[in-house]
Amino acid sequence: MLLERARIAIFGASGYTGAELLRLLADHPRAEIRALTAERQAGKSIGEVFPHLATYALPDLVKIADVDLSAIDVVFCCLPHATTQEIIKDLPRGPKVVDLSADFRLRDPALYERYYGHAHHALEAQADAVYGLSEHYRQAIEQTWLVANPGCYTTASELPLIPLLKSNAINPDAIIIDAKSGVSGAGRDAKVGSLFTEVSEGIHPYGVATHRHGPEIEQCLTDFAGRSIEVIFTPHLVPMSRGILATIYVRNAPNFDAEAIHARLAEAYADEAFVNVMPFKSLPATRHVRGSNLCLIGVHPSRVAGQTIIVSAIDNLVKGAAGQAIQNMNIQNGFAEHLGLTQQPLFP
């Protein structure tokens, strides 16, 4: 049955992705925010936690156990990994769920355990989960109660690579992804590595050869390549609050050059509202997508023959998290996909 308006609960509304959902949903004509949760900050008003949202009439933060789920149609789950699966495992079947954590993204429980350091405890729910890269899993998203919203680095990497692998335009054995993220990607809970003193005026790689988005990217690309894909993926932390920039090095398939690769991407995304392929040789910057649900993709020939450089930019909190989560909620509920997502980027 199609809903006129979705009654929404946000679990983890006092974090960065929760705040971003609130900002975007304020303009969603078919969303009604009914419940907001926090753990340590339960009992506070949203204005106390986020002064920038103080004039927006919203319910106060409560604990998850205090939410009446019988009056909720959609749960956005913005909780840490591991905590998420314990909560979703015990949810009554009824509300649709868009989970922003990584708990339901990897289908292979052994792979999950290897990269997350603990066993998966909600395998029954996981069997129902659909990976939420909206542009490429739409039909499955429409049918499921549980969407596993992709990670931020993974969204920026998968969107340019899927059409190229599907059309055999690149060598599937030689993909290198060099990605940079703003610090909000690490969440609001202060950690030493996220301190201004440790992040400002510098850039550093982390999770080299071990980051958990490596297997997530490989699982997704394998879905579309028709064969197993491995990638070299290296994330970096840069001193900006938001944004992901992924620079992707590919080897052209025989009979393809950078211009033909560009044409494939432009064709693949011609009808997509949120993926924009720039003119050949134009390249995106994070400031071109800041605050919006856009993924901007640029294609440039390499100086080295037979290779192409692709650059993809998203806002980690929007297309990389809350924006794509709303896009998925729209797909799941039969709403127009752009509702709540028409904000233009904030520039400069």
Ligand X SMILES: NC(=O)C1=CN([C@@H]2O[C@H](COP(=O)(O)OP(=O)(O)OC[C@H]3O[C@@H](n4cnc5c(N)ncnc54)[C@H](OP(=O)(O)O)[C@@H]3O)[C@@H](O)[C@H]2O)C=CC1
Q: Which of 91, 102, 177, 314 binds ligand X2W (CB under 6 A)?
A: 102
Q: Between 42 and 186, name the residue whose CB sits nearer to ligand X2W.
A: 186
Q: Which of 132, 160, 172, 235 binds ligand X2W (CB under 6 A)?
A: 235
* 181 to 220: interface string for ligand X2W, x by CB under 6 A: x---xx----------------------------------
Produce one character per residue of 243-265: b if its CB has 16 or more CB atoms within 10 Å, e if not. bbbbbbbbbbbeebbbeebbbbb
Of these partners, ligand X2W, ligand X, none, which one is at the site of residue 324 (CB under 5 to 8 Å by kind)?
none
Alpha carbons within 13 A on the beta-carbon side of 303: 0
For 66, 113, 213, the CA distances from 320, given in Å and listed in that order, are 29, 23, 12
Strands 176-181 and 146-148 come out as unpaired
Return the amino acid letter for 231. V
The set of residues, in sequence order, having a beta carbon less than 8 Å from that of 13 and lying 6+ positions away, is 19, 21, 22, 36, 37, 38, 46, 61, 78
Contact assessment for residue 147 and residue 129, using Cβ atoms and an 8 Å cutoff: yes
Mapped onto helix, strand or coil, the DSSP state of residue 60 is: coil
Contact assessment for residue 309 and residue 8, using Cβ atoms and an 8 Å cutoff: no
Of these partners, ligand X2W, ligand X, none, which one is at the site of residue 291 (CB under 5 to 8 Å by kind)?
none
User: Residue 61 corresponds to which tokens in the numbers above?
Assistant: 């933060």
Shortest distance, position 11 Cβ to ligand X, whole Å: 7
Q: Between 294 and 321, name the residue whose CB sits nearer to ligand X.
A: 321
Shortest distance, position 205 Cβ to ligand X, whole Å: 18
Residues that bind ligand X in the complex, under the rule CB under 6 A: 12-18, 38-41, 64, 78-81, 83, 100-101, 151-152, 184-185, 187-189, 316-317, 320-321
The set of residues, in sequence order, having a beta carbon less than 8 Å from that of 218 and lying 6+ positions away, is 228, 229, 230, 231
Query: Of 77, 152, 220, 295, which one is the catalytic site residue?
Result: 152
Q: Between 151 and 323, name the residue whose CB sits nearer to ligand X2W.
A: 151
Number of amino acids touching ligand X2W (CB under 6 A)? 9
152 forms part of the interface with ligand X2W (CB under 6 A): yes
Matching residue, tokens 């938001």: 242
Of these partners, ligand X, ligand X2W, none, which one is at the site of residue 130 (CB under 5 to 8 Å by kind)?
none
Q: Is 152 a catalytic residue?
A: yes
151 forms part of the interface with ligand X2W (CB under 6 A): yes
111 forms part of the interface with ligand X2W (CB under 6 A): no
Shortest distance, position 314 Cβ to ligand X2W, whole Å: 10
Shortest distance, position 99 Cβ to ligand X2W, whole Å: 9
Q: Which of 77, 91, 237, 268 binds ligand X2W (CB under 6 A)?
A: 237
C-beta atoms surrounding 238 within 10 Å: 16
Of these partners, ligand X, ligand X2W, none, which one is at the site of residue 333 (CB under 5 to 8 Å by kind)?
none
E-assigned strand segments in 60-203: 61-62, 74-77, 96-99, 130-131, 146-148, 176-181
Would you tell me which residues interact with ligand X2W (CB under 6 A)?
A: 101-102, 151-152, 181, 185-186, 235, 237
Q: So which residues are the catalytic ones? A: 152
